[in-house]
Chain A
Amino acid sequence: MADIILQLLTVFAPIIREAVARYYVDHGTLPTDDQVLNILHSNIDKILADGRAWKALHRSSEK
């Protein structure tokens, strides 16, 4: 179990680092209100889409 967690961490580490860093790296400047709002909406949309995709896959595999 711990091995699996460690394997997953190696997958998620770049995602986490990217998420933390992207606010500061956009065009080499600090982010504006609008940029942060766009990032937030994009992250929310992605989370909802990932959830929907998992459910669609599992619904279709149950048939």
Chain B
Amino acid sequence: MRVLRSVAVVALLAFPACRHAPPSLSPPGAVTWQVNEVVVALGIVQQSAIGLNAVQICDPLPCHPVLSDANTEIVIDAVGDGVSTLKRVPSGWRGTALGILDVIERRLDEAGVTKLQPYLIGARAAILSIKS
């Protein structure tokens, strides 16, 4: 129940409404704005992974990070590749970003998926909420 609440909190914080680009932007500028929104969502997933990796839990012993180094590296590599691709090829931003999240989910081990799922769900919803 609390995990579900966490997901809801992420969703509410990350995307308070379906978001349009500001009217001051040209069509290419609006695409840049949309790309930036998905980059922010991917960045939050990476920050979450690094944050979870920095937290040690000691039950059960020995103490270990909430998210393993291997899983954290998977997220960092995928997000890094993703944002670099979005910088080079901004068109198709939604498919690119959702694809990156799919790659992360496929490559993580079971424990990693469990721990990062709220953030992956939040990022997916954020990306889907951006109006193109």
Contacts and interface: CB of A to CB of B under 8 A. Distances in A.
Q: Which residue, B10, B14, B40, has most C-beta atoms of chain A within 10 A?
A: B40
A20 B16 contact: yes
B81 to A, nearest CB: 10
A62 B112 CA distance: 21
B36 A36 contact: yes
Contact residues of B: prevailing secondary structure: helix
B22 A31 contact: yes
29 contacts: A2-B2, A4-B66, A6-B2, A8-B48, A8-B55, A9-B10, A9-B13, A11-B51, A12-B13, A12-B44, A16-B13, A16-B44, A30-B22, A33-B26, A36-B33, A36-B36, A37-B32, A40-B39, A43-B36, A44-B39, A46-B43, A47-B42, A47-B80, A47-B83, A48-B80, A50-B43, A50-B47, A54-B53, A54-B76
